[in-house]
Amino acid sequence: MGRRRRGRAINGWLNIDKPQGLTSTQVVGRVRRLTEARKIGHGGTLDPLATGVLPVALGEATKAIPYVMDASKVYEFVIRWGVATDTDDAEGAVIETVAERPTPEQVAAVLPAFTGEIEQVPPAYSAVRVGGARAYDLARQGETVELKPRRVVIDQLQIVNDPSLEPDETALRMLCGKGTYVRSLARDLGRELGTLGHVTRLRRCRVGPFDEATAISLDKLEELVHSAPPEQTVLPVETALDDIPAVALTEGEASRLKQGQTVHVPQRREGMVRAMADDVLIAVCELMDGRLKPLRVFNL
């Protein structure tokens, strides 16, 4: 007889407002202890310095994590000019300083060059794998990390007004795609402006359908789970798939799809869809020529 897995079978999402100073893994650990969830993961790492939206998946929602990782994201951040650190943010050690400081007009003038599809080298202190090891582990061991440039997409990049800024700082807001590093952008903007730059503040405001307006703190989560079962607190699994068109199935079609079989449907659209039966998520599928092929099946 198989060993029974410990924990509660909870399926859904928690939109957590990550506090500064905790890693994403530490946040997941707190959520696990509060909910006693059997299976849990998160939809995109935030640095300890960063705050903001961290979608946490429980149970069957973990199958939808790749779709959240691929979603667009919004960040607000502050760059300090004239100083470079080894991590490209305020948590690192200062490695170089220069006297040059850009004006707001100079910063605004270079932003279009960093909008659209661009090449970006990840920071040395990043989770990118180099020969099977994480880049940040190699960097902490004193090794020189050579990372290859990646193609990323920045849809919008603009200066925002922030009265709390120091004279050598600029606040920016960015809408971007998967894999974009804010720390790399700060570093590269500094170089383009003939100076240096690193991130002093960073907040993620949105990840796909998860927005900071509806995010809850860990303290708020603790209050909620003490007053009601965790199952009543989570968002539906399909929350992460809201931008994927839905196709309605009968019970028989849903049963065949769950068994991995292709289902014929009278649909003209093609591409990725989510199959639903009686408002219950069945699977994410590829639809082509009226055939539904299951890509990821959910047991809800």
Reference 182, options 204, 213, 161; nearest CA is: 204
Expressed in percent and rounded to 5, the helix, strand and coil fractions of the chain are: 25, 35, 40
State which amino acid sits at residue 89: D
What is the Cα–Cα distance from 268 to 287, expressed in whole angstroms?
A: 9
What is the Cα–Cα distance from 230 to 216, expressed in whole angstroms?
A: 14
What is the Cα–Cα distance from 81 to 189, expressed in whole angstroms?
A: 9
The two beta strands, 51-58 and 197-207, are: parallel
Cβ burial of 85 (10 Å; 0-12, 13-18, 19+) is buried
What is the Cα–Cα distance from 226 to 4, expressed in whole angstroms?
A: 26
Q: How many residues does the chain have?
A: 300
In the 8-state DSSP scheme, what is residue 20?
T
- Residues known to be catalytic: 47
Reference 273, options 257, 293, 253; nearest CA is: 293
CB half-sphere exposure, 139, CA atoms < 13 A: 20
Cβ burial of 295 (10 Å; 0-12, 13-18, 19+) is exposed
Q: How many Cβ atoms sit within 10 Å of the Cβ of residue 245?
A: 12
